[in-house]
A and B are shown apart, each in its own frame.
Chain A
Amino acid sequence: MRPIISVSNLTKTYKGGFTALKNINLDIQDGEIFGLLGPNGAGKTTLISIICGIVNPGEGSITVDGHDIIRDYRATRSLIGLVPQELTTDAFETVWHTVSFSRGLYGKPKNPAHIEKVLKELSLWDKKDEKIMSLSGGMKRRVLIAKALSHEPQILFLDEPTAGVDVELRKDMWQVVRELRASGVTIILTTHYIEEAEEMADRIGVISNGEIILVEEKAELMRKLGTKQLTLELHSKLRKIPTSLKAHKLELMEEGMQLTYTYDTRGTRTGITTLLNDLSKAKIKFRDINTSQSSLEDIFVNLVKRSK
Chain B
Amino acid sequence: MNWLAIWEIYSFEMARTRRTLAQSIVSPVISTVLYFVVFGSAIGSRITEVDGVSYGSFIVPGLIMLSVLTQSIANASFGIYFPRFTGTIYELLSAPISFFEIVLGYVGAAATKSIILGSIILATAGLFVPLELAHPFWMALFLVLTAITFSLFGFIIGIWADGFEKLQIIPLLIITPLAFLGGSFYSISMLPPFWQKVSLLNPVVYLISGFRWSFYEIADVSLSISLGMIGFFLAICMGIIWWIFKTGYQLKN
Residues of A within 8 A of B (CB): 14-15, 52-56, 73-75, 77-78, 80, 82, 84, 86, 88-92, 97, 101-102, 104-109, 147
Contacts and interface: CB of A to CB of B under 8 A. Distances in A.
A79 to B, nearest CB: 9
Contact of A88 (B3, B9, B87): B87
B96 A107 contact: yes
B39 interface: no
B8 A77 contact: no
B94 A92 contact: no
B200 to A, nearest CB: 40
B140 to A, nearest CB: 30
Nearest to A98: B88
Contacts of A74: 2, 96-98
Contacts of B9: 105
B131 interface: no
A106 B87 contact: no
A14 B12 CA distance: 33
Which of B3, B4, B94, B98 is most buried by chain A, counting CB atoms within 10 A of its CB?
A: B94
Given A56-B252, A104-B5, 17 more contacts: A14-B253, A54-B90, A55-B252, A73-B96, A74-B96, A77-B94, A84-B90, A86-B87, A90-B86, A91-B86, A104-B4, A106-B95, A106-B96, A107-B2, A107-B96, A107-B97, A147-B91
A108 B4 contact: yes
A86 B142 CA distance: 43
Interface string B3-20: 111011100100100010
Q: Which 7 A-B pairs have the closest CB atoms?
A: A104-B8, A88-B87, A74-B96, A105-B95, A77-B96, A52-B94, A107-B2
B95 A77 contact: yes
B248 interface: yes
B133 interface: no
B97 to A, nearest CB: 6
Contact of A105 (B8, B86, B98, B248): B8
A89 B90 CA distance: 10
Nearest to A151: B95
A274 to B, nearest CB: 58
Contacts of A53: 93-94
A33 B125 CA distance: 64
Interface in B1-48: 2-5, 7-9, 12, 15, 19
Nearest to A48: B94
B43 to A, nearest CB: 41
Contacts of A75: 96
B97 A88 contact: no
Contacts of B96: 73-75, 77-78, 106-107
Interface in B105-139: none
Contacts of B253: 14-15, 55-56
